[in-house]
Chain A
């Protein structure tokens, strides 16, 4: 049915645009440090839960404001908090491992991920929190049988705006030029007067700010938040970054959207394809099948030229 396909394409674009935003954080850090920051997904969680607490706080303190104000307030608190967490993570954990064997920072990243989840569990508890539906989730019919919700539209719009802003930053500004120069060669960038430690810290800060927005969008779409909610989108976004070519910004964006579409279309049809043996709750297998296929047949990804030669 054409309606199912269109509906799944819309759903795929929504998830895919969030994957893309998170994947940018992975790929920027990889590009500049050769590090796969497995704690990046947990920044998504910190963003969602920080926004939740701030929204609940403001609703308590000043009730009766328009919902969008609460939403924006949550976002405006979550972004700097995540940036601070990202900065701290680089400064405290990764900086001193800059010249260590490549396995050390990778294992540290997994450790940081556990640490963030445990801290979140202490702060927010182990239960699922229902997320306030501040942006309407009432479906609008755009074609017969094809629906889109305002929160979905906002997710796509906000993600697209963030991606555009990042591309402009990286390709058109002095800071972006310094980031690309540092990614290519730290030592030479230093010889040009670039404080590479600062550029690396900023890379973490920018990536974490993007992850904060992604976290709020994910929680707003699904209506729940939880201390381990960052794991799955983190792994999916990592897959998206590898699919597009890790280290490559355009690759992360293309990879995110492509992965979202494959997942959504797969989820829509898996029951038909397997004759009812598997249903849409198995949708996560697509990401990992793709990760496997890419790593075997095209480890440089769709757009990448550089082989992911570091752990």
Chain B
């Protein structure tokens, strides 16, 4: 049963859902991303791993539209989206669960979820999707009337993901969903990611926990100093000695 997104394309040799070509992103004079190429095909889970300050979050923000490109091309569904503001990219199907979760702390849990469905007007379907979120995240349901700022970190992360799903995205961008959370909660979050993948969504995951990310991903890119230094399937990168040394904390 298809709940969230458009049907997954089974053929991989069609044009990618998202393509970055020589993308550069700058904060004033400082170039944080120095020309990267990245592709995502419909239905894939791709991760972007790398050290702090490598430019991963910057890249996600530029895809979601909260940072402008300083150069290069960004196409989504074969259309140039570089000039679209964030709210229009959301309407086109790109949802970002930002670093630090970005919960509206003064709104209630339910209001936060409804903000996720802001761009939609199919009220009956929204209610059905709300029920789906409750089923996936039962802890959220127990706290609907609570002000979201009072939730624990894990609950906030669940809420942030549930909220993003309510926009019915085609492409879900997850920025460090495991940050600062207990292993059990992280496990639960990755279960949810698996569920949405099964429903046909495409996911781009930024993670510091490289082992975890690589185990789950079909493909991955390694970023360092604003550039992509390596790419391959999750398994290849897990076996790659350079990756093991630099990001998986092993001395080789």
Q: List chain A positions with a Cβ less than 8 A from chain B.
A: 174, 177-178, 180-181, 184-185, 187-196
Contacts and interface: CB of A to CB of B under 8 A. Distances in A.
A191 B66 contact: yes
Given A177-B111, A180-B107, A192 B119 contact: yes
B91 A188 contact: no
What are the 6 A-B residue pairs with the smallest beta carbon separation, nearest first? A193-B119, A190-B86, A193-B90, A188-B102, A192-B115, A193-B118
Listed residue (A174, A187, A192) with the most chain B CB atoms within 10 angstroms of its CB: A192
A181 B90 contact: no
A171 B119 CA distance: 19
A191 B119 contact: no
B90 A184 contact: no
A184 B104 contact: yes
Nearest to A306: B106
The bracket for how many chain B residues form the interface is: 20 to 34
Given A189-B115, A192-B119, 20 more contacts: A174-B118, A177-B107, A177-B111, A177-B114, A180-B104, A180-B107, A181-B107, A181-B111, A187-B66, A188-B104, A190-B65, A190-B85, A190-B87, A191-B90, A192-B87, A192-B116, A193-B91, A193-B167, A194-B87, A195-B85
Nearest to B111: A177
A187 B60 CA distance: 14
B118 A196 contact: no
B200 interface: no
Listed residue (B85, B102, B163) with the most chain A CB atoms within 10 angstroms of its CB: B102
A193 B87 contact: yes
Nearest to A188: B102
Interface in B55-113: 64-66, 85-87, 90-91, 95-96, 98, 102, 104-107, 111
Contacts of A188: 98, 102, 104
15 contacts: A177-B107, A177-B114, A181-B104, A181-B107, A181-B115, A184-B104, A187-B86, A190-B85, A190-B86, A191-B64, A191-B95, A192-B116, A193-B119, A194-B87, A195-B87
Interface string B114-158: 111011000000000000000000000000000000000000000
